[in-house]
């Protein structure tokens, strides 16, 4: 898109968005003094791109390495990337997820997002809080379960994602990372799948 001349208010808006890391939600923009019409003007002029409903990003920024995760981190900050999506991030699967798997506490209402496609999983509060790691991706904080917790979650949801994916993840984990069986069993205790996991852990020791 060819950029066109913009108003002084839009120039001020761009500076505010830059201070916000180049990414902003409509609500954040309004709270920062940016009028919605300036957001639309910047979008129409090619200065801003719409990532998802209510999420905008300066086009002058380098291409996002993982725009789907950025949208999740921005629109659903309490969501944790989990299961096959987490496996893919940690390079513990050959699967290419066609949707982003996220976990939320079981009592929370599932978020509604037009894009990217998401699969919401409700975890018990103890399981939801265990094994979270924060990553900064393109300036946005993204919460992802660590490899050990992810493997345990995959065992718990094995009937939904397929045991072949679970076993492949365990094989790749052993090959590419330090096999921390104690940490896996700790998470297995929390997620109540310890008896199921133990034979597989013993076979890999």
Q: pLDDT band at 124, cuts 50/70/90?
A: very high
pLDDT of residue 140: 82
Tell me the pLDDT tens digit for each residue of 50-69. 877 778 888 887 666 688 88
Average pLDDT in the 183-196 region? 96
Using DSSP bridges, classify how beta strands 55-58 and 23-25 pair: parallel, antiparallel or unpaired: antiparallel
- Helix or strand run (H / E) with residue 183: helix 181-191
Which residues, other chains included, contact 102 with Cβ-Cβ below 8 Å and sequence gap of 6+?
72, 76, 79, 80, 81, 82, 85, 118, 119, 120, 121
Q: pLDDT band at 3, cuts 50/70/90?
A: low
Tell me the pLDDT tens digit for each residue of 154-175. 999 999 999 999 999 999 999 9
Using an 8 Å Cβ cutoff, are 154 and 195 in contact? no
Residue of higher predicted confidence among 147 and 141? 147
Give the Cα separation of 131 and 147 in Å (integer). 8
pTM for this prediction: 0.77
- Helix or strand run (H / E) with residue 104: strand 100-105
Indicate if the pLDDT at residue 141 is higher than 70. yes
Give the Cα separation of 26 and 16 in Å (integer). 13
């Amino acid at each position: 898109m060819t950029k066109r001349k913009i108003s002084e208010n839009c120039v001020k808006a761009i500076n505010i968005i830059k201070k916000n890391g180049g990414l902003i939600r409509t609500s954040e923009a309004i709270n920062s003094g940016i009028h919605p019409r300036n957001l639309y003007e910047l979008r129409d002029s090619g200065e801003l791109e719409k990532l998802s409903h209510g999420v905008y990003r300066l086009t002058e920024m380098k291409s996002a390495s993982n725009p789907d995760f950025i949208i999740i981190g921005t629109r659903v900050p309490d969501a944790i990337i989990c299961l096959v999506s987490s496996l893919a991030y940690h390079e513990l699967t050959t699967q290419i997820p066609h949707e982003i798997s996220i976990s939320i506490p079981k009592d929370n209402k599932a978020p509604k997002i037009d894009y990217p496609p998401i699969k919401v999983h409700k975890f018990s509060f103890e399981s939801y809080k265990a094994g979270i790691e924060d990553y900064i991706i393109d300036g946005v904080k993204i919460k992802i379960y660590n490899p050990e917790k992810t493997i345990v979650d995959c065992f718990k949801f094995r009937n939904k994602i397929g045991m072949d994916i679970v076993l492949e993840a365990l094989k790749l984990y052993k090959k590419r990372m330090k096999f921390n069986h104690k940490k896996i069993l700790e998470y297995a205790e929390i997620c109540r799948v310890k008896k199921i996991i133990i034979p597989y852990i013993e076979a890999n020791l």
